[in-house]
Amino acid sequence: MNLLFAATELSPYAKTGGLADVLAALPVALRRRGHSVACVLPLFRSIRETIPELRPTDLVLHAPLGPGLQSARIWEGRTDREIRLFLVEKDEFFDRTYLYGPPGKDYTDNASRFFFFSKIIPLLAPHVRPTPEILHLHDWHTGLAPAFVRAGRLPFRTLFTIHNLAYQGNFWGLDFPLTNLPSDYFSPAGIEFHQHINCLKAAIVFSDRLTTVSPRYAREIQTPEFGCGLAEVLRERRYKLSGILNGADYSRWDPRSDPALPAPYSEHNTGAKQLSKDLVAKQVGWEPSGAPLFCVISRLTAQKGIPLLIEIIDEIRKEEGRLVVLGEGDPYLQESLLGLAREFPKSIAVQIGFDEAFARLLLAGADFLLMPSLFEPCGLTQLYALRYGTLPIARETGGLADTVASWDPATGQGTGFLFQAPVVSAFAEAVQRAKAVYRDPPSLQAMRQEAMRQEFSWDRSAAAYEEIYQRLLGRPG
């Protein structure tokens, strides 16, 4: 099959979250299965600066944006894994420091930026060789593309993947002329949502098939609690919605071969994990310790449960527990965590920003990964943590529930510690359970080994997507 992926992130060139990791790995897994895969992204400044040997083509595409006609030159390149890239060059939209806006803010012209990008996707597709049969679109920034395909009666099937329903691309209804769609598309049966344009709703309504990134999340988003206002729209289209669990890229995230670690290790030799733990301590200015080390590697937002984390700091610090936080996000939460690090410099360390080498070392050195998310479509960090023998302490929601088996003292089995209610007492109790296992070295070792044996490869995910592609094209599986 011939596939064209469209998104705004691809690791390591343009990244704010897990979407970038999916775009780096899933096309590679599909190519291994014999499919032709290419990707189209905006030519962001970060991509121009980090991908060598980009070259402009002679292809210039034109699309209306309201009353005016806008143009974009197409560039070509390849990822470090030889996936073909097509980049949409329009510097006034994409040559900026940030992808979507400065921390905590959006660029005021995001409607124009991503409406235009969504228009270019189906215009580019006929120029890609071999010609794509399916446009696989990701998140709200490409959400209008299925509507443009439908309105133009273009010969492509569309699959849209929801990575996080909370981010929907809502814009004033006054921006509707920028879409250049027929007027009846701005209606409750179309892209209109409470007098706004909703890009994610557009994708839900007009795409041929929908997926999201875990089976549990596919069910959750059809409920009022997790539906972010779109639960009814999704329930009406549940016939075309599937949940496919994201995979882990073990070619990049594996302690047996990770160059960021002081020594490799596996489930058969976990002793070298201590060397990483000691190096983490050294890098944050601590002396090595035999106490439990907790880590957070996350966007620092309310969705990720960071306020809950702040509330249980005293529980974490009991029995000389230590915490290292790596991430960035909400300025208030960042400052709150930094304040705790200043107050407890011997037990709390906070690094604002993202450093992948340190993230790898921290995953290897920590004993427990904290993921108290209010909701979590899939999560990738817990998949990596399992392979590194670092046990997740996580809310039982979305992909976390699909990938972490909670420790059962009666059977001696489990790969982490789940809690249900997003409240301080439940989270603190899960930390207490983890510490109890830490005090029991045989149980801790058994859990680590079981965690490291878990298999969440992208090949399994790619096979599930392949089945959906075949159905879209009316081919037998």
Q: What is the pLDDT of residues 363-402, one digit of tens each?
A: 999 999 999 999 999 999 999 999 999 999 999 999 999 9
Per the prediction, the chain carries an average pLDDT of 96
- Give domain limits for the chain: 2-247+458-472, 270-452
pLDDT above 90: percentage of residues in the chain: 94
Report, as an integer, the average pLDDT of 20-32: 96
Is 25 within 8 Å of 7 (Cβ atoms)? no
> CA 75 → CA 87, 100, 179, 345, distances in Å?
5, 21, 24, 48
Please tell me the predicted confidence (pLDDT) of residue 16: 87
pLDDT tens, residue by residue, 53-74: 999 999 999 999 999 999 999 9
Report, as an integer, the average pLDDT of 441-451: 96
- Given a cut of 90, whether residue 22 has pLDDT beyond it is yes
Is 318 in a helix, a strand, or coil? Answer: helix
Lowest mean pLDDT among 15-24, 206-215, 292-301: 15-24
Please tell me the predicted confidence (pLDDT) of residue 354: 85
State the architecture of 2-247+458-472 in CATH terms. 3-Layer(aba) Sandwich (3.40)
Report, as an integer, the average pLDDT of 132-147: 98
User: For the domain 270-452, what is the CATH code?
Assistant: 3.40.50.2000
Report, as an integer, the average pLDDT of 176-180: 98
- Given a cut of 70, whether residue 41 has pLDDT beyond it is yes
Please tell me the predicted confidence (pLDDT) of residue 392: 98
Tell me the binding residues for ADP-alpha-D-glucose: 15
Please tell me the predicted confidence (pLDDT) of residue 62: 98
Is 468 within 8 Å of 210 (Cβ atoms)? no
Is 313 within 8 Å of 380 (Cβ atoms)? no
Please tell me the predicted confidence (pLDDT) of residue 477: 59
Tell me the binding residues: 15
Please tell me the predicted confidence (pLDDT) of residue 475: 84
Q: Which two three-digit tokens encode residue 459?
A: 């090949």
Asked if omega into 130 is within 30° of 0 (cis), the reply is: yes
pLDDT tens, residue by residue, 225-259: 999 999 999 999 999 999 999 999 999 899 999 99
CA distance 54 to 49: 10
Burial class, 7, CB count within 10 angstroms (exposed 0-12 / middle 13-18 / buried 19+): buried
Please tell me the predicted confidence (pLDDT) of residue 160: 98
Report, as an integer, the average pLDDT of 416-427: 97
